Amino acid sequence: MFDARQLTTSEHVWAQRYQFLVKNGYRLRSRYRPEWKPSWVKEDGTQDRLAAFLAEDSIPLTHASLLDAERISDGKTVILKYVSVESPEIRIGRYLSDRDLRSLPQNHSIPLLDVLYDPADLGHAILVFPLLRPITFPEFATVGECVDFMNQALEGLAFLHEHEIAHRDCAAANIMMDARLMFPNGWHGINMARLPNGKPSDPGITRTEAGYVRYYFIDFGLSSRGEYSVKGTQGIEPAPELEDGANEAYDPFKLDIYMLGMAFKDSILNRTRGAEFIVQPLLRSMLVKDPDRRPTPQDCIKLLEDLASPLSARAKSARLRPYSPKRENFVKTHILDSLNYLANFRRKPLEPPKENPSIDPLS
């Protein structure tokens, strides 16, 4: 049984690198510092359960290879990822984070901020990324929010393909958002239901209320560049061409189209109701079983534009409903739809700020 008073085996690995990280400009939370003692444990050894729940240093890591840290130079939260030095994430991440490419608004790849080679294990490195948030936490609230997300994701995929990069694992879990405008008070690097200090999080605001949210592809650990025929079945999302086994070659760029289509299905259609008329026509082309019949990202962008451009501002601000109809009765639906209309009918459509359309997540 997990005991928050004790570090797990994976946490010990990070704690042992505390001083190395400090020397390189990153400070782990108090839980991983030398001589750490649980803040909620009393002098007599007893513990206050409520205090333990609210204590920031009671929050453990949830993935062995991922941990949050403070960038000492400016106090901002970053995410550390422990990877093999052979991981494509280093080479491709560095390429995409080049100053010239990183400034382009079409580049929706998470910036690689730093690479630290582990002196205690020469076969591994620690990558430093900005803190982002899952795309479904919170869910999409309006049709327009879905359109904006799909357009940004397709734009980002087109950019990757133009640079001969196939992501090969662009499932919904590997697309995240810069949600700082939605959550002005921030969120905890590991437990997003908490504030940075460990207290329960506030509800934040919607993407529409925030005015703009930018989406990023993460996790390039399976990605390839300049390869048009590859093998391998690893990844989050299954696909038709992966069913024949690891020895069958396939086009990774066509695979990306299928996987991104499944990401749209998983993050929108499988979680909400109300955007089917936009999403389903797009998926009919992206999820074709025969890879050769799938469209390019540019084809998908054009189709999405054709589907969305006729929509009025009111249609784009239409509220999405829960996937399960049991969660709302007719009266509740009518009230929430009316409140949503009153709140959004005069709002401008989601668009990047003109003064900085690329938006560095750590700017």
Mean pLDDT of the chain: 89
- Region of poorest pLDDT, from 136-140, 282-286, 356-360: 356-360
CA atoms of 219 and 16, how far apart (whole Å): 25
Mean pLDDT of all residues in 325-351: 57
Sign of torsion, CA 283 285 286 289? positive
CA atoms of 113 and 92, how far apart (whole Å): 13
pLDDT surpasses 70 at 248: yes
Query: What pLDDT band is residue 337 in, cutting at 50, 70 and 90?
Result: low
Query: What pLDDT band is residue 334 in, cutting at 50, 70 and 90?
Result: very low
- DSSP letters spanning 286-327: HT-SSGGGSPPHHHHHHHHHHHHTT--HHHHTPBPEESSGGG
- Do the Cβ atoms of 31 and 59 come closer than 8 Å? yes
Sign of torsion, CA 2 236 263 327? negative
Instruction: Using a pLDDT cut of 90, give the percent of the chain over it.
Output: 73
Place of tokens 């810069």: 178
- Provide the token pair at 215: 């989406």
Tell me the residue type at 207.
Answer: R
Query: Which pLDDT value is given to residue 124?
Result: 97
- Provide the token pair at 236: 């989050």
Query: Which pLDDT value is given to residue 333?
Result: 56
φ, ψ at 207 (rounded to 5°): -60, -40
Max CA distance (Å), the chain: 69
Helix, strand, or coil (residue 153): helix
Query: Which pLDDT value is given to residue 29?
Result: 96
Query: Which pLDDT value is given to residue 151?
Result: 97
Question: 155: phi > 0 → left, psi -120 to 50 → alpha, else beta; which?
Answer: alpha
Consecutive H or E run containing 122: none
Highest mean pLDDT among 302-311, 312-321, 327-336: 302-311
Sign of torsion, CA 276 278 279 282? positive
Place of tokens 């749209």: 264
Place of tokens 């400009």: 25
253's CB contacts (< 8 A; 6+ apart) are 161, 166, 228
pTM of the model: 0.90
Q: First and final CA of the chain: distance in angstroms?
A: 41
Consecutive H or E run containing 269: none
CA atoms of 88 and 163, how far apart (whole Å): 15
